Amino acid sequence: MTEVDAGIVRNLPETLERVLGRRIHVFSNRIQASFYKRTEQPFGISLPEWRVLRSVVFKPGQARADVAADEAMNAMNVSRAVAALLKKGLIEVSPDPADGRRSLLTATPLAEELASDMIRREALMYEHVFSCLDEDERGRLDDFLSRVNEFVRTSELPPPPDGSRDWAAVFSDLD
């Protein structure tokens, strides 16, 4: 990168969109770090496993693809989480009577008990996190996030601008 290019990067405006996107990303990372320390270590269940399990507890009989869509998770992460939950005896898989190619996920009684403990922990954490907002602010934030999530779910992102060079080629030469 030339000195001029570096100056351009350092002087990019901090637009509202960039700041909001970064803040949401940082918030998500902080919540994930808290989950790991407060839940994954003592309970032995990873965040992807918990997201799949919570989805199955709230909506029994979902297929993996349904969980992936509901939780906005990558299908591979859902498959790994399902495999781990099966191994731990927390979910059961059965064929979908309407479509034999699909499998449906249900929580075991052990999973229901674990979910009860984890849901209480999660609720306490989020009550604390959002206690800095009054009820009206929490309602508006919920409305805003719902609207943005729905927009992201149903819209197609614009194509990204071309890079200043073929970055994949730059790094593939390093192999």
Higher pLDDT, 41 or 109: 109
The reported pLDDT for the residue numbered 9 is: 60
Q: What percent of the chain has pLDDT over 90?
A: 55
pTM of the full predicted structure?
0.77
Question: What is the rounded distance in angstroms from the CA atom of residue 137 to the CA atom of residue 143?
Answer: 10
Tell me 155's DSSP state: S
Residue 4's pLDDT band (cuts 50, 70, 90): very low
The reported pLDDT for the residue numbered 163 is: 84
Residue with tokens 């990204």: 160
User: In this structure, are residues 87 and 129 in contact, taking their beta carbons and an 8 Å threshold?
Assistant: no
Higher pLDDT, 147 or 122: 147
Note the pLDDT tens digit of each residue in 126-154. 999 999 999 999 999 999 999 999 999 89
Average of per-residue pLDDT values in the chain = 88
**Ramachandran region, residue 172 (left: φ > 0; alpha: ψ -120 to 50; beta: rest):** alpha
The reported pLDDT for the residue numbered 63 is: 96
The reported pLDDT for the residue numbered 170 is: 85
The reported pLDDT for the residue numbered 175 is: 65
Note the pLDDT tens digit of each residue in 62-112. 999 999 999 999 999 999 999 999 999 999 999 999 988 899 999 999 999
Higher pLDDT, 38 or 95: 95
The reported pLDDT for the residue numbered 21 is: 84
The reported pLDDT for the residue numbered 155 is: 94
- pLDDT of 3 > 60? The answer is no
Q: Which domains does the chain have, with CATH numbers?
A: 15-155 (1.10.10.10)
